[in-house]
Amino acid sequence: MLINNLVKVSIVTLALSCYVSAMDKWYIGASMGKSDFHFSLDRDLTINQPAFFFIESRKDSSNMDKKSFNCGFFAGYNYLIKQTPLFIGFEIGAQNYSLEATQEERTFPPFVNYRTKIRANNSLNGIFKIGIFIKDLMIYGKAGIARTKWTISFIDNNNEIGGSFSSQKFIKHTSLFGFGIDYILNSNWSIGMDCNMAHYPNLKLTHPIGEFKVSPSVGTTTFRLSYLF
């Protein structure tokens, strides 16, 4: 019993020997890193082949992977639970993906070029954090909600009938999970890295030649610089 108490006291003492003044504070910061996108694309097409006087029906599925640079900013608050090395916090932030993934298909005949394009723009998120404070390190897990703007478009460049274009914008919400680690430089500055994963609801587009369904997921790894005040 005595040994257990000594261990608990040692852990708390080690945790609280850090920059305690860096806790119970608001913070703002900026981040940059990479995003890994995965798209599952399902198409149900009815293709008119005017040169040969028949209509072709086709269903197919494919996957696309894409990487992009991301940058953003965030603000939040961390609260150190008294007499423990644990802390809780919340954070809101925004990220810019500027991602564009394109799948292109050229069929023969009659030289019809199909192009499916998916774009992710800005994302807003709100998260709750819980973690442990050990010396100068803050190690935490997090969960929250992400709100992301998507655009899906399909271009049918049919040389004989002039082609057609359809596009639709979506704002989708999903759960976000991740973990991270921050290093306290002093009472006002910290640096860190975190990883997030989010799976979004399906995006659906209807075009004159068929329907398209995209199932996107996004994983991010970012480096953070925070100012505490």
- pLDDT value at position 43? 76
- pLDDT value at position 103? 79
Residues 6+ apart with CB under 8 A from 160: 50, 51, 110
Do 90 and 129 form a contact (C-beta atoms < 8 A)? yes
| Residue 110: cis peptide before it, omega within 30 degrees of 0 | yes
Do 133 and 78 form a contact (C-beta atoms < 8 A)? no
Interior angle at CA 10, CA 8 and CA 16, nearest 5: 105
Between the alpha carbon of residue 141 and those of residues 76, 98, 196, the distances in Å are 15, 27, 10
Q: How many CB atoms lie within 10 A of CB 32?
A: 14
- pLDDT value at position 55? 55
Confidence (pTM): 0.78
Ordered per-residue pLDDT tens for the chain, 229 residues:
545 554 454 544 444 444 455 567 899 999 999 999 988 888 776 655 554 444 566 677 778 888 999 999 999 999 989 888 999 999 999 999 878 888 777 655 555 567 788 888 889 999 999 999 898 899 999 999 999 999 988 887 764 455 677 888 999 999 999 999 999 999 899 999 999 999 999 988 887 777 888 889 999 999 999 999 8
Do 184 and 23 form a contact (C-beta atoms < 8 A)? no
Return the structure tokens found at 163: 């082609």
Return the structure tokens found at 177: 């999970």
Between the alpha carbon of residue 156 and those of residues 56, 159, 168, 209, the distances in Å are 15, 9, 15, 9
- Overall fold of domain 2-228: Porin (2.40.160)
Return the structure tokens found at 13: 């003492």
Distance CA 191, CA 2 (A): 38
Can you name the residues that pair with 208 across neighbouring β-strands? none
Residue type present at position 127 = I
Distance CA 134, CA 138 (A): 6
- pLDDT value at position 135? 85
- pLDDT value at position 18? 47
